[in-house]
């Protein structure tokens, strides 16, 4: 019986553009550099002619009418199929999983994937510090795949679009479930991210290489203000970076025929892609992710290994709650000494839009090349803990060959737990499940929003009816579990909730 060919990563590269660059590369130029470096990393000139599939990760800023077509021309490849992908930080790992299946099935011969952001340089130009000579930016002519919004109209009405205002909902839910006080929890988040900062300080590709202590990360101040309480600036993904990365995959057979040294091969050993319930406000529990739990299990099963065999992880770390929920769902203990981020994480290494996890994968490739016994896991997350892709990597082929595995029944079981849509017009007691307090650019609290339950069990959203001083006092108390009086305000078209006492 003929076995499926094993996919291998044969080229990987990443680039961080120096901050003081006088004529910085645009995102397309950054991708071009990463792609050429990744192809060169494989050490096989003929590989470029073999690439018949190209994936370009969705750009947050400075998109192009046809980024894949423009990039293919610059790099000198003629792919039979090229794709510009939808929004989602999960997509780098998603396309590795997709490419591995397609390679194993013989649907393609070699796959090049890349992504970049140049937001730091764009902001410099907007401030008048430099003049850009970049190609024109235009809306993409097409996006290949579903590009659905991460929120619905009701969530949008409460300004739950920016991730910095949604992930605090998961965090306050986590904090209440842990039993920690706000001050204890703040220190806990600081210690977790201190570990990431230390990794970034040793990473030559990291955007911020000054190691920060737990206290520096967790303590609010003029240079580390709250953005969406309970997160300080140092706990938010840093999108203000210029970074690119690229990966090249082919099969063992093609790699061998091209003369690529087997010591360069890194195997995608297992992978899975699942979504949590799409709308945050319809998830039964705001500090759990069934999708991460099941996807990590499926990836390990395909790789034929237990969690103890993984020597290094890169848990998606856009905010502390994403990192902590992934740790719990994967099954990693709070005191586990293993590396939980190979890059240093999105706040410190850098968060180049949707492409961060490609940097994690490229780093894993380097680590496994240095130690062929190492196995690593990457978790990638899109929208608001919504879309998840998990990959396991190693120096040997997977126990179960890549195939078009059908996980739809498992996805339906996750979706089946969705709650009814929240009540648009709430009245009466509302008990808080989670909340966020937004701060302005000067660090002052301006608005709070809660997710809560009414006496009949229905969920509702409400803005907090309170001024800045009251909001400040709420940051020192545990609002989760408290009950306020909710009412619908027809003039603003939203629910308001008032807490007469913080207990």
- The model's pTM: 0.97
Nearest to 6 by CA among 206, 266, 331, 230: 266
Three-class DSSP category at 38: helix
Cα end-to-end distance, the chain, whole Å: 70
| Residue at token pair 């290994």 | 305
Residue 2: predicted pLDDT: 57
Q: What is the pLDDT along the chain (503 residues), one digit of tens a residue?
A: 457 789 999 999 999 999 999 999 999 999 999 999 999 999 999 999 999 999 999 999 999 999 999 999 999 999 999 999 999 999 999 999 999 999 999 999 999 999 999 999 999 999 999 999 999 999 999 999 989 999 999 999 999 999 999 999 999 999 999 999 999 999 999 999 999 999 999 999 999 999 999 999 999 999 999 999 999 999 999 999 999 999 999 999 999 999 999 999 999 999 999 999 999 999 999 999 999 999 999 999 999 999 999 999 999 999 999 999 999 999 999 999 999 999 999 999 999 999 999 999 999 999 999 999 999 999 999 999 999 999 999 999 999 999 999 999 999 999 999 999 999 999 999 999 999 999 999 999 999 999 999 999 999 999 999 999 999 999 999 999 999 999 999 999 999 999 987 65
* Ranges of H-type helices in 262-402: 290-303, 320-330, 356-370
Nearest to 248 by CA among 48, 73, 21: 48
What φ, ψ does residue 498 adopt, rounded to 5°? -115, 130
Residue 107: predicted pLDDT: 98
230 preceded by cis ω (within 30°)?
yes
Domains of the chain and CATH, by start: 7-149+238-415 (3.40.47.10), 428-498 (2.40.50.840)
In angstroms, rounded to a whole number, what is the distance separating the alpha carbons of residues 432 and 236? 24
Residue 4: predicted pLDDT: 79
In angstroms, rounded to a whole number, what is the distance separating the alpha carbons of residues 201 and 460? 43
Buried b (16+ CB within 10 A) or exposed e, 383-415: bbbbbbbbbbbbbebbeebbeeeeeeebbeebe
Residue 159: predicted pLDDT: 96
In angstroms, rounded to a whole number, what is the distance separating the alpha carbons of residues 143 and 146? 8
Buried b (16+ CB within 10 A) or exposed e, 353-382: bbbbbbbbbbbbbebbbeeeebbbbbbbbb
């Amino acid at each position: 019986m003929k076995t499926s060919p094993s996919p291998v990563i044969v080229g990987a590269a990443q680039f961080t553009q120096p901050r003081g660059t006088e004529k910085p590369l645009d995102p397309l130029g950054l991708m071009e550099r990463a792609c050429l470096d990744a192809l060169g990393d494989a050490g096989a000139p003929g590989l470029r002619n073999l690439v018949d599939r190209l994936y370009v990760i969705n750009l947050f800023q400075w998109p192009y009418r046809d980024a894949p077509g423009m990039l293919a021309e610059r790099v000198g490849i003629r792919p039979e199929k090229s794709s510009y992908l939808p929004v989602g930080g999960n997509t780098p790992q998603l396309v590795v999983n997709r490419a591995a299946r397609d390679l194993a099935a013989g649907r393609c011969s070699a796959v090049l994937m890349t992504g970049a952001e140049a937001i730091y340089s764009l902001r410099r130009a907007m401030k008048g510090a430099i003049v850009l000579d970049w190609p024109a930016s235009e809306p993409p002519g097409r996006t290949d795949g579903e590009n659905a919004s991460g929120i619905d109209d009701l969530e949008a009405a409460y300004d739950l679009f920016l991730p910095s205002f949604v992930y605090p909902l998961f965090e306050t839910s986590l904090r209440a479930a842990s039993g920690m006080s706000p001050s204890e929890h703040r220190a806990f988040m600081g210690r977790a991210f201190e570990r990431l900062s230390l990794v970034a300080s040793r990473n030559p590709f990291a955007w911020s290489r000054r190691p920060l202590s737990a206290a520096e990360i967790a303590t609010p101040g003029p240079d580390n203000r709250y953005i969406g309480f309970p997160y300080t600036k140092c706990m938010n993904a840093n999108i203000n970076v210029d970074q690119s990365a690229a990966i090249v995959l082919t099969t063992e057979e093609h790699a061998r025929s091209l003369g690529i040294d087997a010591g360069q091969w890194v195997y995608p050993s297992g992978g899975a892609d699942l979504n949590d319930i799409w709308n945050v406000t319809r998830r039964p529990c705001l500090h759990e992710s069934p999708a991460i739990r099941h996807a990590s299990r499926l990836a390990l099963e395909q790789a034929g290994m237990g969690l103890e065999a993984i020597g290094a992880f890169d848990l998606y770390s856009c905010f502390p709650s994403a990192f902590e929920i992934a740790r719990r769902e994967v099954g990693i203990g709070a005191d586990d000494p293993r590396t939980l981020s190979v890059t240093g994480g999105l706040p410190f290494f850098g968060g180049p839009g949707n492409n961060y996890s490609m940097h994690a994968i490229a780093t894993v490739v380097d680590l496994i090349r240095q130690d062929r016994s190492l196995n690593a896991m990457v978790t990638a997350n899109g929208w608001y803990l919504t879309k998840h892709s998990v990959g396991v990597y190693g120096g040997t082929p997977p126990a179960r060959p890549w195939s078009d595995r059908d996980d739809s029944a498992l996805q339906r079981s996750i979706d089946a737990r969705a709650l009814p849509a929240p009540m648009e017009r709430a009245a009466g007691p509302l008990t808080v499940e989670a909340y966020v307090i937004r701060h302005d650019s000067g660090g002052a609290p301006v608005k709070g929003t809660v997710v809560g339950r009414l006496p009949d069990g229905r969920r509702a959203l409400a803005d907090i009816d309170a001024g800045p001083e009251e909001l400040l006092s709420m940051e020192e108390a545990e609002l989760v579990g408290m009950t306020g009086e909710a009412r619908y305000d027809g003039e603003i078209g939203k629910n308001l909730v008032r807490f007469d006492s913080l207990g």
